[in-house]
Structures are given as C-alpha cells and as structure tokens.
C-alpha cells in the first residue's frame, strides 16, 4: 500500500465511514482483504450489493428482510396474538438473540422526535393500528427505548391503540434509563419482557 | 433484520470474518449500512470490487498498488539510492505515516518461517538482489520485525546482499518512545544499553 490514493485509498475512506471503524482499523481490514487471493473482498462486495439491492421492509412488521414477508412473520410457530412494538430492526435482532419472545414484532422505524421533525407520520403507527384492528392481537407490548423520546413514542402508541381491543403493556423498568435499547444484553431484555405491566 | 438467514445473514458472516470485527460489531455495521438509502453499502461494495480487481504488487517494490509502478516508486522526489526492506505493504504504510523516510521500499511479502514452509523462494529476495545489483543503491535498511523470524529474515537478506556494493544496515533497537520505562522488558533494556549513544 503506502499511498492512500487510488482504489485502496477509496476503500480506506469507505471503511472508515463504518461505525466503530477508525483509520487504523480501516487499514488493518484493508490489508487483511488485500492479502491472499482477494476472494474475501469479492465475497464481501457481493454480500453488500445483495443487501443494498434486495433488502426491504417486511410487508407485515417492517423489519428488514430479503423476502416479501419476513422469516418471523411467516413462522407458524410464533404467537401472532402477541405483538412487540420496537423502534428499529436492530431491536428485533436483540430480542431474537435473547430468545425469550415468541410473538411477532412491529417496527416503528424510529422514535418520535418533534424537534428533529420526526412526527407520527414518519413512523409506522398507521399500519400498526390497522394490524391490531384486523383482529387476533391479544396484547401489544410497547418495547421502545427507556428514554424521553422512547417513552413519548410509547405514550403515543398507547394512545392510538386505545379502543383497539388489545391490551397494551410496556416493558418493565429493569432497563437502565437513559441508555439506548441497543446496549441492553439478553438478560436485561428477558427481565424486561417478564416484568411487563399494564400501560 | 431479526432473521440471520438470507442476504443479511450472509453480510453478517462476511463482516464477522474481518479482523477486529465480532458478531456485535458486524451487526452494528450491517444495520448502519441498512439504514437510510443504501448508497453507503453500494459504495463500499464498489470500492471492494475495485480493490479486488485492480490492486496488485508494484513491479518495482512489490507494495500493493492499482498502478503498474506505485506512487512511491514513481515519485522523482524520493531518494532512489536508499532502500528500506520491509515484510508487508502494511509496514510501508506505517513508515509513510511516520513520514521520516524519503527513500524507496522493497516489500519481501512476509518473513522466513521454515517451520511453516515459508522459505526464501516464497519471498522477493531474488528481485531485491537484482534491484540492488542494477546499481544506484547506496544503502539497504533491513526493517523486518524485531522478532526471531524477523531477525532470521534480515540475516538472510544481509547474506544475499553481501558483495552487492550497497551498505546493509538495520533499524535501531531500544526503548519504545512514549512508553514508561516500567513497561520495558529485559530484551528492550538490553538492546537500549547496548545501543547507547553519547548524550
């Protein structure tokens, strides 16, 4: 390498844009990909392109998937009467890793942040209400982040779901307030699910 | 996300193969790339593909480049009479970052490791000797790692370069600047004592 110009320089730039990757990590990764037969770089490029081209929101729950309806929504063993409302697809992944939830999800696509211009119309509240009103949903668990904006988002969800016939609960405050849900470990998530209470 | 199958699962697998990237980092990066408009994933894919397709060893010094002759070898301001012999292209990048060397490089492509089957024919000793014998090289600095295998590699290089007409030197051994003396091991202290200079 030596010169940060040209195609290697461009790869370093792109790698350094990734979260948690600084210039030094980018260089280590680039040299790893440059060593040997390059098939690793090609496979990663193909995987990225496939994701960029084919991943989109699930028609039902809005988590990201390369199918029309995601694996979870199409799994007949999941309890379709139990809906866990989360902010992002990453939260779905966290719950799935914890392994303690066997219902379905609904991904809002973020949290309400009026000061940043994120109003209810930017999130998937309308499809959520439609989904619950279609019937068959016994309980909606609001699993937004334990933060001011997350709480506000849960409050709004509880409001639009009132009168829908489903019980609305929220996660127990076993989670440390102020931290992002992404940082919660499996045990925290499991505790929070088990301790959920009426909203 | 939610399901680690499909194209997202493949991306997670490929990311987790990178050095310093565990499953959690892979997930954070994947979700970062999935958020928004996907142009980041596409640009990274393009950069990887360009590197995989176009990067190869410099014809002169064997560092990696997307040119026939690398930026450093083709820079007329560099001192072509001074050759720094390193193990890998990454070492070239380290020296360039340090900014204190204005000669040219020669990348061996690794270090001798007879037990792992890495003999002299697997490294670029022959082109190194050719290059020095072509003339114009005043000094060859052996900058291999200060390890058993690095030292063995330097010893071999010094041997094949003897009689080439160029002076052969190696990097100084001593205390690592910036670190506390408490952290120095016996070998560092011995090297520092043996290499001591007038104040």
Domains and CATH numbers, chain B: 6-54 (1.10.8.420), 79-170 (3.40.1360.10)
> Does residue A138 belong to the interface with chain B, where contact is any CB pair within 8 Å?
no
Which of the 8 DSSP states describes residue B74?
T
Percentage of chain A modeled with pLDDT above 70: 92
Rounded to whole angstroms, how far apart are CA atoms B165 and B170?
Answer: 16
CB contact under 8 Å between B29 and A48, yes or no, is no
CB contact under 8 Å between A34 and B11, yes or no, is no
Bridge-based pairing state of the strands B56-57 and B64-65: antiparallel
> Does residue B145 belong to the interface with chain A, where contact is any CB pair within 8 Å?
no
Non-local (6+) Cβ contacts of B97 within 8 A are none
CB contact under 8 Å between A2 and B71, yes or no, is yes
Indicate the range of A3-12, B71-80, B128-137, B167-176 predicted with least confidence. Answer: A3-12
Chain B residues 9-38 with CB within 8 Å of chain A: 10-11, 13-15, 17-21, 25, 27-34, 38
Rounded to whole angstroms, how far apart are CA atoms B66 and B51?
Answer: 8
B92: nearest CA partner in chain A: A2
Residue A29 exposed, middle or buried by CB count within 10 Å (0-12, 13-18, 19+): buried
Tokens of residue A89, six digits: 């697809």
Find chain B residues with C-beta within 8 A of A101's C-beta: none
Whole-number average pLDDT of chain A: 88
Q: What would the mean pLDDT of B125-153 be, rounded to a whole number?
A: 92
CB contact under 8 Å between A20 and B28, yes or no, is yes
- The whole-number pLDDT of residue A177 equals 64
Bridge-based pairing state of the strands A139-142 and A79-86: parallel
A151-170 confidence digits (pLDDT tens): 899 999 999 999 898 999 98
Nearest-CA distance from A71 to chain B in Å? Answer: 6
Chain A residues 83-122 with CB within 8 Å of chain B: 88-90, 92-93, 96, 105
- The SS3 call for residue B81 is strand
Spatial contact of B175 and B181, defined as CB atoms under 8 Å apart? yes
Rounded to whole angstroms, how far apart are CA atoms A135 and A2?
Answer: 63
Find chain B residues with C-beta within 8 A of A64's C-beta: 1-2, 8, 34
Q: What would the mean pLDDT of B155-172 be, rounded to a whole number?
A: 92
- The whole-number pLDDT of residue B1 equals 41
Assign B3 a pLDDT band (cuts: 50, 70, 90).
very low
CB contact under 8 Å between B48 and A45, yes or no, is yes
Find chain B residues with C-beta within 8 A of A19's C-beta: 28-29, 32
Rounded to whole angstroms, how far apart are CA atoms A44 and B46?
Answer: 10
Q: Is the ipTM of this complex over 0.90?
A: no
- The whole-number pLDDT of residue A197 equals 63
B40-97 confidence digits (pLDDT tens): 899 999 999 999 999 999 999 999 999 999 999 999 999 999 999 999 998 898 888 8
Interface test with A, best of B5, B16, B48, B109 (most A CBs within 10 A): B48
- How many A-B residue pairs are in contact by the CB < 8 A criterion? 195
Closest by CA to A33, choosing from B120, B51, B10, B57, is B51
- The whole-number pLDDT of residue B2 equals 42
Q: What are phi and psi of B48, to 5 degrees?
A: -65, -45
Percentage of chain B modeled with pLDDT above 70: 97
Which of A1, A19, A42 is opposite residue B32, by nearest beta carbon? A19
A74-119 confidence digits (pLDDT tens): 999 999 999 999 999 989 988 998 888 999 999 999 999 989 999 9
Residue with tokens 């988002």: A153
Whole-number average pLDDT of chain B: 89
């Amino acid at each position: 390498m030596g010169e940060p110009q040209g195609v290697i320089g461009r790869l370093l730039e792109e790698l350094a844009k990734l979260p948690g990757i600084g210039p030094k990590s980018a260089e280590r990764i680039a040299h790893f990909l440059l060593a040997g037969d390059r098939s690793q770089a090609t496979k990663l490029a193909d995987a990225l392109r496939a994701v960029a081209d084919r991943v989109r929101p699930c028609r039902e729950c809005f988590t990201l998937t390369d199918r029309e309806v995601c694996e979870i929504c199409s799994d007949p063993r999941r309890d379709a009467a139990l809906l866990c409302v989360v902010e992002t697809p990453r939260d779905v992944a966290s719950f799935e890793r914890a392994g303690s939830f066997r219902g379905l999800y609904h991904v809002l696509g973020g949290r309400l942040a009026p000061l940043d211009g994120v109003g209810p119309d930017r999130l998937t509240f309308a499809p959520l209400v439609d989904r619950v009103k279609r019937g068959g949903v016994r309980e909606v668990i609001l699993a937004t982040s334990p933060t001011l904006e997350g709480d506000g988002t849960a409050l709004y969800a509880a409001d639009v779901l009132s009168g829908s016939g489903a019980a609305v609960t929220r996660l127990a405050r076993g989670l440390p307030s102020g931290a992002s849900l992404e940082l919660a470990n499996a045990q925290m998530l499991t505790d929070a699910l088990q301790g959920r209470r009426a909203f």
